[in-house]
């Protein structure tokens, strides 16, 4: 199992280009099943979760060709199976979004419970309720058995603004008879990417970027070409890495239009940046001081549905807070295991109190120390957060199970070394 060895204390300096949005690409690939014509996707990140999705699509009968430099040609001329390989489905959460395309294309689906990060309960009820509204039946054994004799448009109010449930419903609805309205829809950048992509293929999706989507079903979709947008979670991660190491980093093609709320939260920790076109520049030696609420009250940073602060960046800014002067409360209401890496920060010297599974209090600044024996990456975002802690710690840190980081960040060790990080990957059989 690969591990990272990091000698902390080196400021990051230079330029970095972030990869394509992981969460967008993981839905755009299944969306290619909605047409029998060829589709070309650009800027697809070369990460473990994408490799798993590619394998899933090939198992179903789609042809996928790696064109190099992040470009893929996909054609699902014939789909030979409606059964999702359970061993592959258990590796990624995104396997659930095969439901919409396969039901639209084949009218049936057999799916084992999806996998992914172990960050708490991740219900699929919203998916099921929305698909049922479109005319889908479900039987449950040790897996989900979906079927339909024809998808029909419906007026759907999602019981939560679930990203993957919104995406599944969109993909089912574009080929359904009649009009579908999705209320309380998620509106994250990757949901917007999916809608724009489907419209390029001939779908009729309106209200993109809002919480109400109107979809007029069409008879078929054609081929097309699309570029995956920048991964704003990776952008936010490199902002944090620059801030905690005191370096100056230009993040190229960062899609700054998606960063206003992320900027607000970082500003509360004393982190600021400049925008130049599509690039952002994080200056050296950020003040790193918590801005208290009115009356000197302890501020709360809480993850919320888009366009509020994203859950996937909460672990990153928590590490930044360990280096900022002041006290701040972090609140993750969605996932009860999100903060189950904080004990590792405490090993490294952070002053942190895990109040309960959903709340963590940080008092900074703390001088972090390298830790060689007790740091293991439990999931993608916690792994990247621990990497940030190691970059600013004094001494050497060893992070094990970095395959978790590789699932969500493309060549992160190479990108950090190019910025001056003293980081080595040790490959183990």
Catalytic residue positions? 117
SS3 378: coil
**CA separation for the pair 114, 112 (Å, rounded):** 6
> Do strands 300-302 and 326-331 pair parallel, antiparallel, or not at all (unpaired)?
parallel
As given in the structure block, the two tokens for residue 345 are: 């920060």
- Dihedral sign, CA of 355, 361, 365, 370? positive
**CB-based contact 297:261 (threshold 8 Å):** no
Residue showing tokens 């996909």: 74
SS3 111: strand
As given in the structure block, the two tokens for residue 100 are: 């919409």
Burial (Cβ within 10 Å: 0-12, 13-18, ≥19) of residue 401: middle
**CA separation for the pair 3, 66 (Å, rounded):** 28
**CA separation for the pair 121, 338 (Å, rounded):** 11
Residue 68 falls in which region: left (phi positive, over 0), alpha (psi -120 to 50) or beta: left
**CA separation for the pair 76, 181 (Å, rounded):** 27
**CA separation for the pair 354, 382 (Å, rounded):** 15
């Amino acid at each position: 199992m690969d591990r990272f060895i990091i000698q902390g204390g080196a400021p990051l300096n230079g330029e970095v280009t972030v990869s394509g949005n992981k969460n967008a690409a993981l839905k755009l690939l299944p969306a290619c099943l909605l047409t029998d014509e060829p589709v070309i996707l650009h800027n697809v990140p070369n990460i473990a979760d994408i490799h798993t999705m590619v394998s899933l699509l090939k198992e179903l009968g789609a042809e996928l060709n790696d064109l190099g430099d992040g470009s893929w040609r996909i054609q699902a001329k014939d789909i030979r199976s409606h059964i999702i390989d359970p061993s592959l489905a258990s590796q990624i959460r995104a396997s659930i979004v095969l439901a919409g395309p396969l039901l639209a294309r084949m009218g049936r689906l057999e799916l084992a419970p999806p996998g992914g990060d172990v960050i708490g309960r991740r219900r699929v009820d919203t998916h099921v309720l929305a698909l049922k509204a479109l005319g889908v039946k479900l039987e449950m054994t040790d897996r989900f058995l979906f079927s339909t004799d024809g998808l029909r448009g419906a007026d759907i109010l999602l019981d939560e603004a679930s990203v993957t449930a919104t995406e599944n419903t969109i993909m089912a609805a574009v080929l359904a008879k009649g009009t579908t309205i999705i209320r309380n829809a998620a509106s994250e950048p990757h949901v917007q990417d999916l809608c724009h992509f489907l419209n390029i293929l001939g779908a009729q999706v309106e209200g993109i970027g809002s919480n109400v989507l109107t979809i007029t079903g069409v008879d078929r979709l054609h081929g097309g070409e699309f570029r995956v947008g920048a991964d704003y979670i990776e952008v936010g991660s490199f902002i944090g890495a620059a801030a905690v190491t005191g370096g100056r980093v230009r993040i190229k093609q960062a899609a700054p239009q998606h960063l206003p709320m992320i900027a607000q939260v970082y500003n509360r920790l004393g982190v600021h940046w400049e925008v130049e076109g599509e690039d952002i520049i994080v200056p050296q030696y950020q003040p790193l001081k918590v801005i208290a609420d009115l009356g000197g009250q302890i501020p709360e940073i809480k993850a919320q549905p888009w366009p509020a602060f994203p859950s996937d960046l909460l672990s990153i800014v928590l590490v930044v807070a360990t280096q900022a002067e002041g006290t701040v409360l972090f609140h993750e209401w969605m996932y009860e295991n999100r903060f189950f890496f904080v004990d590792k920060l405490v090993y490294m010297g952070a002053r942190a109190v895990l109040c309960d599974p959903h709340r963590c209090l940080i008092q900074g600044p703390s001088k972090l120390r390298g830790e060689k024996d007790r740091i293991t990456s439990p999931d993608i975002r916690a792994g990247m957060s621990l990497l940030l802690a190691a970059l600013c710690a004094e001494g050497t840190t060893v992070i094990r199970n970095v395959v978790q980081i590789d699932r969500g960040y493309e060549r992160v060790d190479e990108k950090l070394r190019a910025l001056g990080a003293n980081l080595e990957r040790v490959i183990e059989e």
